[in-house]
Structure 1
Amino acid sequence: MRIGLLGTGPWAGMVHAPVLASHDGLDFAGVWGRRPEAAKELADRHGTRAYDDVDALLGDVDAVAVALPPDVQAELAARAAGAGCHLLLDKPVATTVSGARAVVRAAEEARVASVVFFTTRFLGETGDWIAEQAGAGGWFTGHAQWLGSVFAEESDSPFATPWRREKGALWDVGPHALSVLLPVLGDVRRVTAAGRGPGDTVHLVLDHAGGASSTVTLSLTAPPGAAGAAVEVHGASGTSRLPQPTGGAADALTRAVDELLAAARDGRAHPCDAAFGLRVTEVLADAETLLDAGER
């Protein structure tokens, strides 16, 4: 499969480009970015071509991997689908429901495969745990906590990007939490409470379709010593906790590529496709509405 990369930021350089260049099932055909000089530097580093015109890249490939801010991603992903490209998307698909819906509509109309790269879903130990708990059922309640230190005072993280400063933890790490809770506890019927804590910290209470409830705590401003992710669920089988994975982002992206190739070959919808990404966006948009109302 000939694949192009849209984006030249830290995630693209550290994870996407190396994985696309080394994957046996891919021909890494080129890079496009909003900064042409960055696209050329990244392309040269991996022995591929830099494109100045995104439509030229879309015309030369079978698929695209996107490593761009979510609302830039949404517009270009819909455009790529319209050009017949399969989609390897980052989370969140968009920060507006209309943007995410446009991606889903374009992918469905073009009949292209899509996979959204929710890292936890594509790591071996955590992906297997999610599938096992979803199969077990009988869960009564759960809690997810995703604490990052991207914006802590002492942090110099390369991920302190403008869109994360604007949208905060809700939109950056919120998708990770939902990617675990939804398959295990069921779809979210409604967000019943939301409140803000220090910095960009937010707290949510979710009612799930199967009758379970969950709480979610998210932050990108936690002290480094407090950073980390944890999920636990409680039910008829007792308590189960999300294991700590041994792999990293590159391992997860490699598996996501494998599953995009399979979805494109078989024509089957992937559990983490653009439609699932839309559902995550809808839940986060509801939470954002409650948070904004609370501030007023």
Structure 2
Amino acid sequence: MSKVEFNDRVAIVTGAGVGLGRSHALELARRGVKVVVNDLGGSVDGTGGTGTVAESVVAEIEAAGGEAMANGANVTKPDEVEAMVAATLERWGHVDILVNNAGILRDKSFSKMELDDFRTVVDVHLIGSAICSKAVWNHMKERNYGRIVMTTSASGMYGNFGQSNYGAAKAGVVGLMNVLSIEGAKNNIHVNTLAPTALTRMTEGLIPEDAAKLMTVESVTPALVYLANDNAPTKMIMCAGSGGYAVTQIKETQGIYLPPEQQNADFIAENIDKITAGDDARDMDNAGSQTMHFVGMAMQHLSSK
């Protein structure tokens, strides 16, 4: 069994002034990680901004004997993110961990949602995660070490009414993880995704009081720490909340092969039970795995003639 270890690590945690990010930053610091507490200090919808929330978390970390620095970079602005990384390198010399946690909400049903609100939420969650990952990527490649954790949501994986913007963005970060975990493998860059459920500013008022008491941010953070540690896996989606921990897996059914004369929607409808049967569903290592699976079935059919 691998141990949870951090060997002289430096982490950037975005959106770390409150809620989940704050909990992540405090626990990483408690384990000896030097932490950049990044937070723009805005409201839940992303408006406004004050750096005092980040500074407060830094003060907590330093009071407990840890090392931290505050940063107010906006994750949607590459120049600010690059400056944050540069400041981190100047102080500590390396960046080992990136936690893409920053996020906002602008919920409305799709029919009532303005496209500007759709774009803004996608910009923060998905584009912001890409900007921050890009800013540390080449540095991590040069050091042959990196741990990046995206933050998804059940809304992105399973859907939730009124969150088309948020759900699209949160599904997008899973796709980003899938690719970066492949591209980073040869340089020991592990990329994972956390799917949290907790009582934060984003969920306040939506959860019954009795249940809300169980949904602590502190119950989620252990999963983040596991996904970011020296012995972390890669390409894992770990779900956490209220003391529950699980993994979401993307699998593909075995499916069937249809010869050319049957390759139409009518034969798909006729065989849909076989196509959707999941008894021998499988993981796909990459996009090519699916292609080779289908080609393999077609070649097998040809060779049997």
Q: TM-score w.r.t. structure 1 length?
A: 0.43
Q: TM-score w.r.t. structure 2 length?
A: 0.42
Higher relative contact order (CA 8 A, sep 6+): 1
